[in-house]
Amino acid sequence: MRKPKKLTALLLALTLLFACAACGSGNSTTDSGKTISGTLPEIIDRLYDTVDVDDEQRDFLKNSVGTVEIPKDQSAYYFGVENLDFEEAVASEPLINAIAFSVCLMRVKDGTDIDELKAEIRRSANPAKWICVDVNPNDVRVESVGDLVLLIMADDSEKYSEAFYALAE
């Protein structure tokens, strides 16, 4: 009877080992350990410098959009999720405009389950948060590189996603 107990103990130990490994994988970064260096406003500026848009949109990004710090108690407005616990976050939105456009960048805390956070933001972000204008729900994207999570609500959002991933080192 000793062999079945040892075998059972070994199988239980292996099961626990694999379970722990699976739990740990949820905290890993989404883009293969790559990072994007710089402050959050610098990253937004580089994103806008490299995104593939026409001259009119580039002028809009340079002259009509401002970047502001997001206080934690305002995370629901920007990300759709109440009281997010992040290191820092910024929003880049038109100062005064009738165009629905929002790019929000967050640096998450160590140990954050980024995939779970992205799914929660994807479910909760409000593409109609503005008065009289909205973004097509298909143009809402949540991306991540390293400890950065980017929410894009804009026409041609895939272009901003591509530019964000191109910044990764």
What's the confidence (pLDDT) of residue 13? 42
Band of pLDDT at residue 109, cut at 50, 70 and 90: very high
Give 41-95 pLDDT, tens digit per residue: 999 999 999 999 999 999 999 999 999 999 999 999 999 999 899 999 999 999 8
Asked whether 109 and 85 are in contact (CB, 8 A), the reply is: yes
Listed by start position, the domains of the chain span 1-27, 31-166
Distance CA 134, CA 142 (A): 17
- Token reading at 86: 């992040």
Q: What is the pLDDT of residues 115-139, one digit of tens each?
A: 999 999 999 999 999 888 999 999 9
Beta-carbon contacts of 77 under 8 Å, excluding residues fewer than 6 positions away, are 129
Task: State the pTM of this model.
Answer: 0.79
Q: Is the pLDDT of residue 19 over 70?
A: no
β-strand 102-108 against 148-153: which pairing, if any? antiparallel
